[in-house]
């Protein structure tokens, strides 16, 4: 099959396809054209190699960018090495400048020769929305995610059950190949075994030799009391499975608290705005506020309280995450002026108004006294 066939056409995806779509399409095509499923079919074998080469290029962001810009010319004349993972043999380009540093200077730049272990699986993120009550009490939740998991038939090895691996012929089992680069003799990861030193004799039919498959999973998450928006819960080893039996990554649960009908939250403090009548504000009284703990908290209203005044109930707020104690509940008072009065109520208010001397409301009296002084200063 010609190497000049467009990689996107080979994988049957659009040029703007994301990594997940490219990966999914590749797996379907690899299963369809795998030589084990098409014994003796040279065309199927050629197509399998072509789509594998296309996927190796497009799954690498750097190689894909070069291909999108220059097409197949990007990989000719040592431009970036073979798109399928290297130039082959003992020659070829480097996938990035980091390969050169690692090869020439060794572990000081993160490299170091010899076999490489299969890379760990990717970490994943899951956003979970819960209620404020859930955040107060804590809860056990179940989540469903689609994630790459270890292939069960091959136990993550990538090899068909009953078969194994053999030493890589290209690198002799070292995982590295040498190449002459000007005055330097350098080493780079073997393009055939990708640094493992071994190759699979017969790829697993279930996973196409990768050692992992995509499947839905149901996981249990324990949410401790006191979590807040932005709290992160780590589930070790529940991320994406690593290739060829490598360890799985981690899953991080990010908590989001749903807006509550009564309370706002500031750390461990619960805040609520409480409207009271102006008679209660003037004479004082008591109010009851139901807390998230299931108790009714009685709050004393002092006589003469003003709008905006905050009353605090110690220990009635949110639990402290992973510690003892609780925050406070804060009630911000709002004095409500009545809008519907009976004739009798209006009569009583007029009687009250007739007895006012101005000393009953010192803030109001002080304000108008200042207005009067300012006016006198202007007219003098």
Q: Is 57 annotated as a binding residue?
A: no
Which pair of tokens denotes residue 101? Answer: 């540093």
Note whether 333 and 311 are within 8 A (CB): yes
Q: Distance from CA of residue 281 to its chain's centroid?
A: 48
Q: What are the backbone angles phi and psi of residue 129, rounded to the nearest 5°?
A: -95, 130
**Is residue 200 helix, strand or coil?**
strand
CA distances from 338 to 80, 284, 324, 349 (A): 79, 17, 44, 12
Query: What is the distance between the alpha carbons of residues 178 and 89, in angstroms, rounded to a whole number?
Result: 9
Map tokens 């504000």 to a residue: 281
Residue 51 burial (C-beta neighbours within 10 Å; 0-12, 13-18, 19+): buried
Q: Is 361 annotated as a binding residue?
A: no
Which segments of 168-293 are extended strands (E)?
176-181, 184-189, 198-200, 212-223, 232-235, 251-257, 264-266, 269-277, 285-290
Query: What is the distance between the alpha carbons of residues 291 and 297, in angstroms, rounded to a whole number?
Result: 7
Query: What is the distance between the alpha carbons of residues 297 and 23, in angstroms, rounded to a whole number?
Result: 57
Map tokens 């529940």 to a residue: 238
Query: What is the distance between the alpha carbons of residues 256 and 194, in angstroms, rounded to a whole number?
Result: 41
**Is residue 362 helix, strand or coil?**
helix
- Residue list, annotated binding site for Zn(2+): 151, 154, 168, 171, 190, 193, 204, 207
- Residue list, annotated binding site: 151, 154, 168, 171, 190, 193, 204, 207
């Amino acid at each position: 099959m010609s190497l000049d066939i467009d990689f996107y056409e080979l994988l049957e995806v659009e040029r703007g396809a994301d990594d997940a779509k490219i990966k999914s399409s590749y797996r379907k095509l690899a299963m369809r054209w795998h030589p084990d499923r098409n014994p003796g079919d040279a065309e199927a074998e050629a197509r399998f190699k072509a789509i594998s080469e296309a996927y190796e290029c497009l799954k690498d962001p750097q190689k894909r960018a070069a291909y999108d810009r220059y097409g197949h010319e990007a990989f000719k004349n040592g431009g970036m090495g073979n798109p399928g993972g290297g130039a082959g043999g003992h020659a070829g380009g480097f996938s990035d400048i980091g390969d050169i540093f690692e090869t020439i200077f060794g572990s000081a730049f993160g490299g170091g020769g010899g076999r490489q272990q299969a890379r760990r699986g990717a970490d994943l993120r899951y956003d979970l929305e819960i209620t404020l009550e859930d955040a107060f009490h804590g809860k056990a939740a179940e989540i469903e995610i689609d994630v790459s998991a270890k292939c069960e038939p091959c136990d993550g090895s990538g090899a068909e059950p009953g078969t194994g691996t053999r030493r890589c012929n290209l690198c002799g089992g070292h995982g590295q190949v040498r190449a002459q680069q000007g005055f330097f003799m350098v080493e780079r990861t073997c393009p055939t075994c990708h640094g493992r030193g071994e190759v699979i004799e017969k790829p697993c039919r279930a996973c196409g030799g990768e050692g992992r498959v995509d499947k839905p999973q149901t996981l249990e998450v324990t949410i401790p009391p006191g979590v807040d928006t932005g709290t992160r819960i780590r589930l070790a080893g529940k991320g994406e499975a690593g290739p060829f039996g490598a360890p799985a990554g981690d899953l991080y649960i990010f908590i989001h608290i749903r807006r509550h009908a009564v309370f706002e939250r500031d750390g461990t403090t619960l805040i609520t705005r409480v409207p009271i009548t102006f008679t209660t504000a003037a004479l004082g009284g008591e109010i009851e506020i139901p807390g998230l703990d299931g108790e009714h908290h009685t709050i004393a209203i002092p006589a003469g309280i003003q709008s905006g005044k905050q009353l605090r109930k110690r220990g009635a707020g949110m639990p402290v995450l992973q510690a003892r104690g609780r925050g406070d509940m804060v009630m911000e008072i709002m004095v409500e002026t009545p809008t519907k009065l009976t004739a009798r109520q209006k009569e009583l208010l007029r009687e009250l108004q007739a007895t006012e001397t101005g000393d009953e409301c010192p803030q109001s009296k002080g304000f108008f006294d200042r207005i009067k002084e300012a006016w006198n200063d202007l007219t003098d």
